[in-house]
Chain A
Amino acid sequence: MFLFAAAAAPLLPDWVVSLVTIAFANGLVVLGLVVLWRAGLVSFGQALYYCIGAYAVALTARWTGFTDAFALVVIGGVAAGLVAVLIGFLLARYREIFFAMLSLALSMILYGVLVKTESLGSTDGFSVATPTFFGYAPHREALGLALYWLTLGVDAIGAVLIGVYFRSVAGALAAPIRDNEIRVEFLGVSVTSIIHTKVVVAGILGGLGGALAALAIGHVDPNMAYWTTSGGFVFVTILAGAGSVAAAFVGSLVFEGVRSFAFDVMPQLWQMTLGSVLLLTILFLPDGLGSVVARLKRRGEAKS
C-alpha cells in the first residue's frame, strides 16, 4: 500500500499530497492508539506525545538551527518516548476510565504550561523552520513531495515494526489482557510491564507523528495538546478498528477526507458531521472499517 502511495505522489495535485502527508502523520499516532486499544485501553491523551514530538522538532530547529528532517523526526520520537517511559509508571496502574482520564489530565497539563509560556508564543505557537534532507534543501512542491515520502517512509518502518510486535507473544497477549487480566497474571506474565511497554510504544509513535506533522504543517501551537486533538485521534481509532496495522492509516485518511469535505461543504456544521459519523460507526460498525475489509476478504475466500 505504501509503495503504491509513494509512486502515485508525483501525479497527484499539491493539496492531495499535503492532505495525505498529514493524514499519514496522524495515522502513526492512531497506530499507537491501536496498540493500546487492542489491550482494551483508550488513551485520551495521545495529544501529549503528539505535541511533545512537534515542539521537540520546532524547538530543536529554533534553538540549534539544526534542520535535518530525519534527525528531527528521531528527536521528536525519542523525546516523546522518554516522557512516555516516565509517565508509563503511573499510567500502567490504571485501566479503563481512569486510564483515559489520567492521560487526559496529563495532556492538559502540558497544554496549560504551553499556553502560559510567553517565550514559546503562548496560544499562537510559532512556526517551524523548513527542513532539509541530509543537506538537500527542496522548495515548495519538491518540499511537499519530500515530506510526503519521508512520512511514508517513517510510516512504513513503523507499520512493519508494529506488525512484528503484533505477531509476537507480547502483542498476542493484548487480547487476553483486555478480556481477563488476572488470568494472564496467573500465567506468570507481568501485565503492568506489558502495558507500560504499550504506553511507551504508543508514546514513541505519537511523538514521531507529531514531529512529522510539525514539519508538514510548518507550525506548532499548544492546541496540539488540547483534549479535542486527542479526541480526534481516538475517533479515528474507532473508525478504523483494531483489526490491522493498515486500518490505522486508511482510517486516518478517511477521517482527514471527511473532515476536509465537511469543512468545505458545511463549515459551520463540521463538528456535527464528525460526531454523527462517530456515533453511526459505534452503533453499526463497532469494529471499525477494518472489520468491513476483513469481512469482504472472508467472503471472497469462502466463495473460492
Chain B
Amino acid sequence: MKRHCGGGAANRGLTPAVPPSNSSGFAVLTASAILTDGLVYAAYLFIVAIGLTLIFGVMKILNVAHGSFYAFGAYGAATAVGIYTNGDWPAAAGFLFMILMGMAVGLVLGIILERGILRLVYGKDEVIIVLVTYAVFLILEDVIVLIWGPQSYAAYQPMVSAGNTEIGELVLSNYDIVLVAIAALLAGLAYWALKFTRYGRLLTTVIFDRETAAAFGVNVTLVYTATFIIGAMLGALGGAVMAPKIAVTLGIGVEVIVLAFAVVAIGGMGSIEGALVGALIVGICRAAAVHLVPQIELFVIYGVMALVLVVRPYGLFVRAQPRKI
C-alpha cells in the first residue's frame, strides 16, 4: 500500500488507500504525506510569489498582471513541450528548453508592459496602479486566447518521463523533487544576489527608501525596469515549471494571483524571506487541509491570511511603518 504524493493545482483531495492496521503508522504516513505535499506546493507558490513581492517591494506596485506572467509562462512551456516531444529530444534538454522558453516569454512580456504601459502611470496613486495592472491582466487573458486559442493543453511529458521515487510508504514524483530543488535554489540565489552583488544592494536601498536612493545617484528608473522584468521572468518561470503538473487552460492566471497575494500578504510585501515563510505556511496548511479536512481547503488559505493580518498588519517580516504627515 503506497501513498501517492504530488498534489498540484489540479490534483485535489488525495484519499489514502486502505490504512495500515497500525494506527500510529497511519499518522506518521499522513504527516509525512502532508509535509511532502506541503513542500511541493510551497515550492511552486514561492517561485510565483517571489516575483510579486519583489515588484511590490521595489516599485510599490501590486501587480495583478503577475497572474498573466504565470499563465504566459505555462502556455509557453506547453508550446515548448510540444516542440521537443515532436522533435524527440532527450528529456533533460527538453526540460531546460521548457524553462528557458517560459522565462523568455516572461522577459518579452515584462519589457512590453513596463516600457509600454507602466511608464505612463508611475506617478499616480498606488491603488490606481493596481487597477491599471488589473486592466492589463484582463487584456492579457484574452491575448492568450488570441495566441493559443481557448482549448487546454497538456504538457505532462516532463513529469511522466522523470519517474517516481519511493521513500518507505510514500511515492514521490521526481518532478516534484526537482521543483522543490529549483525553489530552494532560487531562494538561495535571491539571498546571495541581494546581499552580495552590487545590483542586489542597490535594490535593497531602493526598497528601503526610493527618494534617498535617488538622491544618492542610484538610477531608480533603471532599477524599476530591471526589477519588473526579473519579476516577470520569475512569474513566468513559476508557470513554466507548473505546466507539466496542471491542465494548461484559461483561468489558471486568475487562480494563482489570489494565492500569490495571500502568500505575499502573510510574509510581508517586499520581503523575500517573507515570501519563503509565507509559501511554506500556506503550502503546509493547504496540504494539511487537503489530507485531513478537504472541505476547508480554500477557506484555510484565506483564513490564515486574515489571521496573520490581524496580528501583524503588514505581514510577518515587515515592521509597521510610522505614519508620515
Hey, which bits of chain A sit against chain B, CB under 8 A?
Answer: 40, 42, 90, 93-94, 96-98, 100-102, 104-106, 108-109, 111-113, 115-116, 180-183, 227-228, 231, 234-235, 238, 268-272, 274-276, 278-279, 282-283, 286
Tell me whether A271 and B309 are in contact (CB under 8 A): no
Tell me whether A272 and B142 are in contact (CB under 8 A): yes
Per-residue interface assignment for chain B, residues 169 to 191, with 1 indicating a CB less than 8 Å from any chain A CB and 0 otherwise: 00000000000000000000000
B306 at the interface (CB under 8 A from A): yes
- Complexed CA–CA distance, A274 and B295 (Å): 34
- Complexed CA–CA distance, A104 and B310 (Å): 14
Tell me whether A279 and B135 are in contact (CB under 8 A): yes
Question: Quick one: given A116-B295, A275-B139, A282-B131, are A97 and B303 in contact (CB under 8 Å)?
Answer: no
Hey, which bits of chain B sit against chain A, CB under 8 A?
Answer: 62, 117, 120-121, 124, 126-128, 130-132, 134-143, 145-146, 150, 254, 258, 261-262, 265, 269, 294-299, 301-303, 305-306, 309-310, 313-314, 323, 325
Contacts of A96 in B (CB 8 A): 126-127
Contacts of B62 in A (CB 8 A): 97, 100-101
Contacts of A274 in B (CB 8 A): 135, 138
Closest to A186 in B: B325
Tell me whether B306 and A282 are in contact (CB under 8 A): no
Closest to B306 in A: A105
Tell me whether A100 and B130 are in contact (CB under 8 A): yes
Contacts of A97 in B (CB 8 A): 62, 126-127, 130, 269
Tell me whether A108 and B137 are in contact (CB under 8 A): no
Tell me whether A283 and B121 are in contact (CB under 8 A): yes
Q: Which of A42, A90, A97 has the most CB of B within 10 A?
A: A97
- Complexed CA–CA distance, A100 and B258 (Å): 12
| 9 examples of A-B residue contacts, CB within 8 angstroms | A97-B269, A105-B265, A116-B294, A183-B325, A235-B131, A268-B150, A276-B135, A279-B135, A282-B132
Select B306's contact among A109, A231, A278, beta carbons within 8 Å: A109
- Complexed CA–CA distance, A181 and B295 (Å): 42
Contacts of A180 in B (CB 8 A): 325
Tell me whether A111 and B127 are in contact (CB under 8 A): no
Tell me whether A234 and B325 are in contact (CB under 8 A): no
Tell me whether B139 and A272 are in contact (CB under 8 A): yes
Contacts of A42 in B (CB 8 A): 127, 130-131
Question: Quick one: given A231-B134, A279-B135, A282-B121, are A109 and B126 in contact (CB under 8 Å)?
Answer: no
Tell me whether A115 and B298 are in contact (CB under 8 A): yes
- Complexed CA–CA distance, A280 and B126 (Å): 17
Tell me whether A234 and B131 are in contact (CB under 8 A): yes
- Complexed CA–CA distance, A117 and B304 (Å): 20
